[in-house]
Amino acid sequence: MSTAERGGPAPVTLRAHGPLGQSVRDSLVVARRNLIRMLRIPEVVIFGLIQPIMFVVLFSYVFGGSISVGGSTDPAAYREFLMAGIFAQTVTFATAGAGAGIADDMHKGLIDRFRSLPMARGAVLTGRTLADLVQTALTLVVLAVVAVIVGWRTHAGIPKAVAGFALLLLLGYAFSWIGALIGLTVRTPEAATSGGLIWLFPLTFISNAFVPSDNMPTVLRHIAEWNPFSATVQAARQLFGNLPAHYPVPGAWPMQHPVWASLIWSVLIIVGFRTLAVRKYRSAAA
């Protein structure tokens, strides 16, 4: 006698809550798998922390007294100005890891095994980017502790500080979709790592992350002021209360409204590159 004939509840299938529910569940399963793999290879997380910590120490103590911020060359003022840029650089450099991870899964045939399963097409990529987001959040926590040790402080209250970190993580998540597209496009993890970093260096250095943009040549200054990376850095500084008293805010719209500019840029990047990455995944599976 079947379950229905006995009057018991009908069995629940994977699609009982519709395609959206299945996509969410599949994405969480893939994210859990990637997080477990990260825990089993802790050196990846450790090495990922070394570079931003080195940047904090080098920029704070080597360049801190040589760079003028708001008319002041006080190293303490520069450290507070610097940290939003270091945070933003850290979350965006995670892009290379996302691309290399997906390229490695492609190279080992794991993606092909996922394709053979009855799961949502975008879940593999969404799960991977969510796992990278968790790793990035943990990295930010450690980096914030190091920043406090070297003298960084927030001055606008805890809610705004949390909002600043949320914007940074949103930018990191947006850029992880760029990494996912790169990982699906190249053939090897090594190529994904190189391809994920080569465009990040000009993006992060032609910005307001490490020096004020008003000292740049005109063309570079305009690029820096409309750079999505700069918008998030400026928004984080504003929310952390780390803008110097006499810091000249550029007249470009993203610098005048950095929080809105950061949100708009991040959402546009997520929508655009997620669409391209999922389309690439589907075409490769065809």
Task: State the pLDDT at residue 264.
Answer: 97
Task: State the pLDDT at residue 219.
Answer: 93
Most confident of 38-52, 96-110, 120-134: 120-134
Bigger pLDDT: 81 vs 61: 81
pLDDT at 261 over 90: yes
**Rounded to 5°, angle at Cα 133 from 130 and 134:** 95
Confidence at 257, pLDDT banded by 50, 70, 90: very high
Bigger pLDDT: 29 vs 205: 205
pLDDT at 284 over 70: no
Q: Give 3-state DSSP helix, strand, coil % of the chain, rounded to 5.
A: 75, 0, 25
**Rounded to 5°, angle at Cα 31 from 25 and 32:** 90
2 domain residue, yes or no = no
Residues 152-166, mean pLDDT to the nearest whole number? 93
Whole-number Å distance between alpha carbons of 86 and 147: 10
Number of domains in the chain: 1
Most confident of 98-107, 249-258, 265-274: 265-274
Whole-number Å distance between alpha carbons of 273 and 265: 12
261 domain residue, yes or no = yes
Query: Which has the closest alpha carbon to 178: 142, 225, 228, 214?
Result: 228
pLDDT at 15 over 60: no
Question: 221 CB contacts (<8 Å, ≥6 apart)?
Answer: 213, 214, 250
112 domain residue, yes or no = yes
Least confident of 58-62, 147-151, 264-268: 58-62
pLDDT at 161 over 90: yes
113 domain residue, yes or no = yes
Residues 240-265, mean pLDDT to the nearest whole number? 89
Tell me 191's DSSP state: H
Task: State the pLDDT at residue 66.
Answer: 67
Residues 99-126, mean pLDDT to the nearest whole number? 76
pLDDT at 12 over 50: no
Whole-number Å distance between alpha carbons of 249 and 262: 16
Whole-number Å distance between alpha carbons of 101 and 108: 11
253 domain residue, yes or no = yes
pLDDT at 115 over 80: no
Confidence at 203, pLDDT banded by 50, 70, 90: very high
Q: Which single residue is written with the structure tokens 């984080």?
A: 236
181 domain residue, yes or no = yes
11 domain residue, yes or no = no
Confidence at 40, pLDDT banded by 50, 70, 90: confident
| Domain that includes residue 137, residue range | 17-285
5 domain residue, yes or no = no
Most confident of 125-129, 167-171, 194-198: 167-171
The crossing angle, in degrees rounded to 10, of helices 75-108 and 123-149 is: 150
